[in-house]
Chain A
Amino acid sequence: MNEVTPIVFVVDDDDAVRRALMRLIRSAGYDVEGFGSASEFLGSGPHTHRTACLILDVQLPDLNGLDLQHELNAASALLPIIFITGHGDIAMTVRAMKAGATDFLAKPIGDTDLLRAIETALRNSSQAVTSLIELDSMRDRLSRLTPREREVLALLVEGRLNKQVACELGIAEKTIKVHRARVMEKMEAHSLVELARISDKVGIARSHGQRTAR
């Protein structure tokens, strides 16, 4: 599902610093890609379906690192950010951490600190990516259901019995049994509990239920 080597992005306008950081990160076995400015990084496209993290210098000539963080958070939360700065103050650190930064490191950065921060960030990213992929697949499975099957699903995960569902929808219980088997198969669920969990994650069960409960 998520087997590609994790990648670390480095955005720092200082060529020498960027080159050195990239080497250090590569020495720890990660893929690494560097950018000289925020816009360069933004232009490199969304990096959502791969375990990754971003090492971001706060002071960038074009877009301030904190602004870039804001921009990225709006787009996706899948890319944990580790800030690095030559002269960070408390206010700046607080702002960055509140906005969800994984870490805030002062230059010069020791390798242990940096690699530990990267490890944490990548673990977070990996989890986020895994659940994203899982969610995508669930949505995909859900999209395979017919409207009637969706109605059946919504009522089933609310805990109704076949009989109750049949009554609610005004169709035969036998037909409900067929729908139910089809839903389980399409949603790749082995039990009703599993089906309920998936529906919960996809987040549509309740709305369906509410609509039908009218």
Chain B
Amino acid sequence: MNLDIELPQPRHEKFSFSTHADATIEHQTLGAPSEQAGCGEVPSSCPSLPQTRPSIRARLAMFSTGRLRRTASRHRVQQGREESRLIPDAAARQTEENKKFRDTLELLPFAVLLTDQHGQIALVNAVTEKLFGYSRDELIGKSVDLLMPAWQANFHAAQPADMTSLPLARAVGSARDQAARREDGTEFPAEITANPMSFDGEPYTFTVVIDRTERYELQRNRQELAHLTRVSTLGELAGSLAHELNQPLTAILSNVQAAQRFMTTQSVNLTEVREILQDIVADNHRASEVIRKIRALVKKSELEAAPLSLLSVVGDVALLVHSDAIVRGIRVLLRISPELPPVHGDRVQVQQVVLNLLLNAFDALESRSSLDRVVVVEATHDSAGMVRVAVRDRGMGLDHDKLDKLFMPFFTSKREGLGLGLSISRSIVEMHGGRIWAENNKDQGATFCFTLPTRVAAQHARSRHEP
């Protein structure tokens, strides 16, 4: 039987332990089975055994004396005793091996649990005690539900944990990260990896629990920051956005007042009134569409990877900056083929990147003549499975020594800039599995490019990562 015991980093260099010849612990990742104990020098630090729970004590005792493999049934226990009587050398060796196993688990820098087929905890290490706030005595024999309430329900002992492997999902965590519960009732996100193993034909589950609190916090901070910059960008655009709303409102008001005046005439032209009503409905849609787009960008939402049409993503952003462009006398040209395959990503975040690059390009054109006030947004095939979006301006271009600093946090060339836009854009793009860079155009101005995986490529990546 093969076991996939996947251990997270950092990996223990000398983490290999030997098993008795007839022990049924098999492992791969933990280290190849080896007859030479790699951790012979490990100091033994047996925890005190619980005095109040004889059965558990017995079970634990069996670990320390190497009789675990014989705990499955009375019969086997009996048989095992006979064996150990018969072959004292083998029993002693077994004892020694199991002790090494236990000692090794104690040394692991992450929480480890061994549970039996009923989900009862048979063994924990010191990190588990510390992480969950229970003492070892309190845990042994309890259901694993105590620590991971949501987990047991959908856990199948024979299935290795299915960790998602999309770049996006992997980076931002997946639904398979579970809530784990501490002794004081507080919950924390944990990455739980479970692998089956067996002793003497009896199934056990070897579970590694990694506290993801910090990672989630980091992620949340990054999300928070992305959201903040998004909101502040929209704040800068407020005037233009108001104008985008004002246009349909203007049309609606004038249409209604025109209709009211037409109604007072002797012969009401019904065709005209019908057209007016149609236009009012259309303008109403138009206004709510603007609101919807603003709201989508302002909303603090969970990341959601989905197939995205770049034409529609970039088109939405172009609409939001439409008035800003007109006020600044800038023309925005979109060159996006509708045949381009959809990319895989979070709509809001991809829009945030496009919005950021577009507004940067607008700023770059500040001092240019009206002929040069053009920004081109282009989307093309990049390398296999990737689509490239390029935002090209005809501004002053970028200093060569600044090209690599551009994407660092707090680097800015603008007087009022925070220096966060591009660094956030970079973290978004990289989270999607793409990359972002800037280059000077051959003739004039600069181009900012980023790539995103197409849907097909993202699916491929997922299947590749699946065990």
Q: Which A residues have a C-beta under 8 Å from some C-beta of B?
A: 14, 16-17, 19-21, 23-24, 26-28, 59-61, 64, 86-87, 107-111, 114
Q: A16-B248, A17-B251, A87-B242 are in contact. Are A24 and B279 (CB under 8 A)?
A: no
Q: Tell whether, in the assembled complex, residue A108 and residue B250 are in contact, meaning their CB atoms are under 8 Å apart.
A: yes
Interface window among B82-90, B326-334, B433-441: B326-334
> Smallest CB–CB gap between A36 and chain B, Å?
13
Interface string of B229-243 (1 = CB under 8 A from A): 000000000011011
Nearest CB in chain A to that of B283: its residue: A16
With a CB–CB cut-off of 8 A, which chain A residues contact B283? Answer: 16, 20
Q: Tell whether, in the assembled complex, residue B261 and residue A17 are in contact, meaning their CB atoms are under 8 Å apart.
A: no
Q: How many residues of B contact A (CB 8 A)?
A: 30
> Smallest CB–CB gap between B286 and chain A, Å?
7
B311 at the interface (CB under 8 A from A): no
With a CB–CB cut-off of 8 A, which chain A residues contact B250? Answer: 17, 20, 86, 107-109
Q: Tell whether, in the assembled complex, residue B258 and residue A23 are in contact, meaning their CB atoms are under 8 Å apart.
A: yes
Question: How many contacts A-B (CB < 8 Å)?
Answer: 84
Q: How far is the CA of A87 from the CA of B324 in the complex (A)?
A: 11
Q: Which B residues have a C-beta under 8 Å from some C-beta of A?
A: 239-240, 242-243, 246-255, 257-259, 261-262, 272, 276, 279, 282-283, 286, 323, 326-327, 329, 331
With a CB–CB cut-off of 8 A, which chain B residues contact A17? Answer: 247, 250-251, 254
With a CB–CB cut-off of 8 A, which chain A residues contact B253? Answer: 20, 108-110
Q: Tell whether, in the assembled complex, residue B261 and residue A24 are in contact, meaning their CB atoms are under 8 Å apart.
A: yes
Q: How far is the CA of A49 from the CA of B367 in the complex (A)?
A: 42
Nearest CB in chain A to that of B262: its residue: A27
With a CB–CB cut-off of 8 A, which chain A residues contact B329? Answer: 64
Q: How far is the CA of A39 from the CA of B203 in the complex (A)?
A: 82
Q: Tell whether, in the assembled complex, residue B326 and residue A111 are in contact, meaning their CB atoms are under 8 Å apart.
A: no
Q: How far is the CA of A114 from the CA of B246 in the complex (A)?
A: 16
Q: Tell whether, in the assembled complex, residue B247 and residue A23 are in contact, meaning their CB atoms are under 8 Å apart.
A: no
Q: How far is the CA of A17 from the CA of B246 in the complex (A)?
A: 10
Q: How far is the CA of A111 from the CA of B323 in the complex (A)?
A: 25
With a CB–CB cut-off of 8 A, which chain B residues contact A110? Answer: 253, 257
With a CB–CB cut-off of 8 A, which chain B residues contact A111? Answer: 254, 257-258, 261
> Smallest CB–CB gap between B241 and chain A, Å?
10
Q: B243, B258, B327, B331 — which one has the most chain A CB atoms within 10 A of its CB?
A: B258
Q: How far is the CA of A61 from the CA of B330 in the complex (A)?
A: 8
Select B327's contact among A20, A59, A107, A108, beta carbons within 8 Å: A59
Select B255's contact among A23, A28, A59, A61, beta carbons within 8 Å: A23
A–B pairs, 21, beta carbons within 8 Å:
A14-B247, A14-B251, A16-B247, A16-B283, A17-B251, A19-B251, A20-B253, A20-B258, A20-B283, A23-B254, A23-B255, A23-B258, A24-B258, A27-B257, A28-B261, A60-B326, A61-B331, A86-B323, A107-B249, A108-B253, A109-B250
Q: Tell whether, in the assembled complex, residue A16 and residue B286 are in contact, meaning their CB atoms are under 8 Å apart.
A: yes
Q: How far is the CA of A86 from the CA of B323 in the complex (A)?
A: 10
Q: How far is the CA of A213 from the CA of B420 in the complex (A)?
A: 80
Q: Tell whether, in the assembled complex, residue A109 and residue B254 are in contact, meaning their CB atoms are under 8 Å apart.
A: yes
Q: Tell whether, in the assembled complex, residue A20 and residue B239 are in contact, meaning their CB atoms are under 8 Å apart.
A: no
Q: How far is the CA of A63 from the CA of B113 in the complex (A)?
A: 73
With a CB–CB cut-off of 8 A, which chain B residues contact A24? Answer: 254-255, 257-258, 261
Select A86's contact among B246, B279, B286, beta carbons within 8 Å: B246
Q: How far is the CA of A16 from the CA of B283 in the complex (A)?
A: 7
Q: How far is the CA of A48 from the CA of B259 in the complex (A)?
A: 31
> Smallest CB–CB gap between B324 and chain A, Å?
10
Q: Tell whether, in the assembled complex, residue A23 and residue B272 are in contact, meaning their CB atoms are under 8 Å apart.
A: yes
20 A-B pairs besides A86-B250, A111-B257 with CB distance below 8 A are A16-B247, A16-B248, A16-B279, A17-B247, A17-B254, A19-B279, A20-B254, A20-B276, A23-B255, A59-B323, A64-B329, A86-B242, A87-B239, A87-B240, A87-B243, A87-B246, A107-B250, A108-B253, A109-B254, A114-B254
